[in-house]
Amino acid sequence: MTKFADIKGFVFDLDGVITDTSILHGTAWHQLADSLGVAWSDELANGLKGISRMDSLEMILKAGGKENDYTQAEKEQLATQKNTNYVAEVDKMTPANILPGMKAFLDDLRAKGYQLSLASASKNAPRVLGKLQLADYFPKIVDPASLTHGKPDPEIYTKGAELLNLPANQCIGVEDAAAGVAAINAAGEVSLGIGDATELGAADMVFADTAEVTLDNIAKKLG
């Protein structure tokens, strides 16, 4: 098992980790599901966390037994509709939307020389970082358009460590989604989950809240 002293880099998810966009994604998908007559549930909402735009749409259609009801072109139109609603909400964001403790954590990581990269499935990640005024912290972003497979496949986290020129076991991956934790584990990185300990039970360490994510607390858990 990796020791805290071995850690040199952090590979971050964005939505639900640095900012609360997971709620905005959920609301925009919920709206679309309602318009399609697909019943919404917390389980469906949680299962969509970390999942790419088109895969999320497929999951929603499947939940409603409608996976064969639309052509590819119609599906793309539905995804665009969701994205338009989502982006309108993103454009209202400010640095006040950074989750508690995350700015201080990023500042501490930077001050102590840890390397940072972003492993978000979102094609809107640069826009979100811009709104939060955090773009400077993440010059290294995995391009989700370059991926063959989405989370829980390890590809995005493997690429996140490669951008830092670090071996996987010297990186901590930070996630709020079960699919993301699975991706980090499969990439051979140390997984830090933020959220419900049962949902994120596969993570090497879980914090209930972003405010608890500090280097001291990580060191205590990792040893």
Residues in the site for Mg ion, rule: CB under 5 A? 13, 15-16, 50, 176-177
Q: Which two tokens stand for residue 210?
A: 């972003």
Is 204 a catalytic site residue? no
DSSP string covering 139-204: S-B--GGG-SS-TTSTHHHHHHHHHTT--GGGEEEEESSHHHHHHHHHHTPEEEEES-TTTTTTSS
- Residue 123 site contact among Mg ion, ligand BG6, none (CB < 5 to 8 Å, cut-off depends on kind): ligand BG6
Site for ligand BG6 in 70-109 (CB under 6 A): 83
Give me the DSSP letters along 47-97. HTTT--HHHHHHHHHHHTT-TTSS-HHHHHHHHHHHHHHHHHHHTT--GGG
Selected binder of ligand BG6 within 19, 122, 185, 210 (CB under 6 A): 122
Q: What does the alpha-carbon distance between residue 46 and residue 178 come to, in Å, rounded to a whole number?
A: 9
- CA nearest to 44, candidates 71, 184, 58: 58
Of the candidates 30, 49, 131, 159, which one interacts with ligand BG6 according to CB under 6 A? 49
Give yes or no: 143 in active site: no
Q: Is 62 in the site for ligand BG6 (CB under 6 A)?
A: no
Of 50-58, 64-72, 94-102, 159-167, the segment contacting ligand BG6 by CB under 6 A is 50-58
How many C-beta neighbours within 10 Å does residue 200 have? 23
- Ranges within 152-181 binding ligand BG6 (CB under 6 A): none
Query: How many angstroms from the chain centroid is the CA of residue 109?
Result: 19
Name the binder of 160 from ligand BG6, Mg ion, none, CB < 5-8 A by kind. none
Active-site position among 13, 55, 108, 136: 13
Q: How many residues bind ligand BG6 (CB under 6 A)?
A: 17
- Does 52 engage in binding with ligand BG6 (CB under 6 A)? yes
The answer to whether residue 117 forms part of the interface with ligand BG6 (CB under 6 A) is: no
> Which residues are tagged catalytic?
13, 15
